[in-house]
Amino acid sequence: GIQVEQSPPDLILQEGANSTLRCNFSDSVNNLQWFHQNPWGQLINLFYIPSGTKQNGRLSATTVATERYSLLYISSSQTTDSGVYFCAVLYSGGGADGLTFGKGTHLIIQP
């Protein structure tokens, strides 16, 4: 099956800093999503981005499907940005099944 690797696994930053989270995947995909998991476990949709670039406030994402990676940018970090960020993909050769998740990046924003 498809492999999804996220880096870094852990990231500790001061409030106001910028960060870049990376997601590498091993094969072609039909769907790529970024999620933020809050302390209560809820997965919050950030971006649906199988290719191209999108921006939403302080967050933006870029997926280069031909090179099999995606980047999530967080600017001017706030303490509420803390949590785990997941990248998940839908393998295009696997039929219409579910998402394959990376292990996540654990982000801690210190005041």
Partner 1 sequence: DGGITQSPKYLFRKEGQNVTLSCEQNLNHDAMYWYRQDPGQGLRLIYYSQIVNDFQKGDIAEGYSVSREKKESFPLTVTSAQKNPTAFYLCASSSGAYNEQFFGPGTRLTVL
Q: Which residues bind partner 1 (CB under 8 A)?
A: 1, 4, 30-31, 33, 35, 40-43, 45, 48, 86, 88, 90, 96-104
CA distances from residue 110 to 4, 77, 86, 97 in whole angstroms, order as listed: 28, 9, 20, 38
Residue placing its CB nearer to partner 1 in the complex, 17 or 69: 69
Tokens representing 74?
A: 């967080």
Residue placing its CB nearer to partner 1 in the complex, 70 or 100: 100
| Closest approach of partner 1 to the CB of residue 86, in Å | 6
